[in-house]
Amino acid sequence: MANERLRSALVRTDRQPGDLAQSIGVDPKTVARWLSGRLPHPRHRQAVARALGQSEAYLWPLRGDHRRLADQGPGELVALYPHRSAVPGEMWLDLLRHAECQVDVLAYAALFLPELDPGLVQTLQAKADAGATVRIALGDPRAPALRCRGEEEGIGEGMAARAAMTLRHFAPQVGRDGIDVRVHDTTLYNSIFRFDDDMLVNTHVFGAMAYRNPVLHLRNTGPEAMFAAYATSFERVWAMAAPYRSYVN
């Protein structure tokens, strides 16, 4: 199957296959075979990763981490991960770094994001200042839905506490133009993380914490695709959510 991650990395770095071939010293036909799904020799994987500013684990997921399941075909499903902790940290950062138009987050807490990148809020603010739409919908720590989820996962008030911690990261943005933060009290069946036309959907399994549940990496392929269904779900929750400023006041 075609390696869409490698192809996307070429586009993002404004390179043609021939440019990559020349930079690492191989025949352009060799790069064409890699794009069609052929696995490069380890030394070439390392060279390609360096040239494109990506990790080997991201460009060739099955080789980078045996825990990760991936489908590199040209369709909507870019990859399927058995649990969120199997998603490479650098991939979250890469998707965020390259998002130019839209960043949407729907979760109860998503505390792992500011823990992964302490400069997350500043990065999001910079993107908003550059014209991107940035919308963050997190669980209202006072909501019954969070207490219920915490009890189901065996952490009691821990879920509400984690949501409150994440919201504190965004507190300095209240009243500023840019990042739009809201709180919600809906029952979440999935956490949704959208970066332009890429989306990571963290499914929720009853009684299991989010980091142990599967993640779908989807790419927007049209109005009839799963991507659109999850995007619509985000919009419905967003419409019901309350501005964060009303919570902090």
User: 3-state DSSP call for residue 179?
Assistant: coil
220-247 pLDDT, tens digit each: 887 778 999 999 999 999 999 999 876 6
C-alpha 147/C-alpha 200 separation (Å) is 25
Instruction: Report the pLDDT value the prediction gives residue 155, as an integer from 0 to 100.
Output: 84
Mean of the per-residue pLDDT values for the chain? 86
Cβ-based neighbour number of residue 17 at 10 Å: 17
**Which DSSP string do the residues of 195-208 spell out, in sequence order?**
ETTEEEEEE--TTS
* Cα 176 off chain centre by: 25
pLDDT at position 248: 57
The pLDDT value recorded for residue 199 is: 95
Q: What phi and psi, each to the nearest 5 degrees, are found at residue 79?
A: -160, 155
Indicate if the pLDDT at residue 61 is higher than 70. no
**Predicted confidence (pLDDT) per residue in 93-110, tens digit:** 889 988 989 999 999 999
Stretch 31-37: mean pLDDT: 89
For residue 67, count other CB atoms closer than 10 A to its CB. 11
pLDDT of 238: 96
pLDDT over 70 for what percent of the chain? 92
Whole-number pLDDT of residue 31: 92
Residue 1: predicted pLDDT: 64
CA atoms within 13 A on the CB side of 196: 12
Whole-number pLDDT of residue 4: 79
Q: Is the pTM of this model over 0.85?
A: no
pLDDT tens-digit map of 113-163:
999 998 999 999 999 999 999 999 999 999 999 999 888 888 888 889 999
| 77 bridge partner residues | 218
Cα distances (Å, whole numbers) of residue 155 to 25, 27, 160, 222? 54, 55, 10, 39
What is the per-residue pLDDT for 71?
A: 40
Per-residue confidence band for 2, with pLDDT thresholds at 50, 70 and 90 = confident
CB 24 within 8 A of CB 48: yes
Which domains, ranges and CATH numbers included, belong to the chain? 4-61 (1.10.260.40), 77-248 (3.30.870.10)
CB of 137 closer than 8 Å to CB of 106: yes
Letter for the amino acid at 189? Answer: Y
Alpha helices in the chain (DSSP H): 4-12, 17-24, 28-35, 42-52, 56-59, 61-64, 89-98, 112-116, 120-129, 144-152, 158-170, 226-240, 244-248
Would you tell me how many other CB atoms lie within 10 Å of the CB of residue 105? 21
| CA–CA gap between residue 88 and residue 68 (Å, rounded) | 9
